[in-house]
């Protein structure tokens, strides 16, 4: 399951960027494109398994946003949604230029409110 290594990489990135403040994170938002080969349910399960083994992250939440696939047509110079993996513009021309859909990144980090 490659989702567990993705979750580990997410925490490595957060620890590298925020250091000891990682324990103050309440919620992580990850954006994954449909072509990124990440299944939201599987990454949530991997996240839950990771935080179960790391008690200092026990209250942290994960939200996975999924981006649709958007391609760009060179013929009519417009972006269009790719449906059912058909990379054909409404103008009828095929396209292999992906604008959105293969990304995987941490899109938001929310820290606990200090009281």
Q: Which domains does the chain have, with CATH numbers?
A: 2-68+100-111 (3.30.2320.50)
**pLDDT at position 92, please?**
95
For the entire predicted model, the pTM comes to 0.85
The span from the CA of 23 to the CA of 42, in Å, is 23
pLDDT of the chain along its 115 residues, tens only?
588 999 999 999 999 999 989 989 999 999 999 999 899 999 999 999 999 998 889 889 999 999 999 999 999 999 999 999 899 999 999 999 999 999 999 999 999 987 6
Nearest alpha carbon to residue 29 among 110, 108, 105, 112: 108
């Amino acid at each position: 399951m490659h989702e567990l290594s993705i979750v580990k990489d997410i925490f490595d990135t957060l620890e590298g960027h925020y250091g000891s403040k990682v324990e103050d994170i309440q919620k992580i938002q990850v954006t994954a494109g449909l072509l990124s080969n990440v299944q939201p349910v599987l990454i949530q399960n991997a996240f839950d398994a990771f935080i179960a083994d790391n008690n200092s992250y026990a209250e942290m939440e994960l939200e996975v946003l999924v981006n649709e696939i958007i391609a760009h047509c060179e013929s009519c110079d417009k972006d269009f949604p790719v449906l059912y993996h058909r990379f054909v513009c409404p103008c009828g021309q095929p396209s292999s230029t992906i604008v959105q859909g293969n990304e995987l990144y941490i899109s938001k980090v929310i820290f606990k409110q200090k009281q």
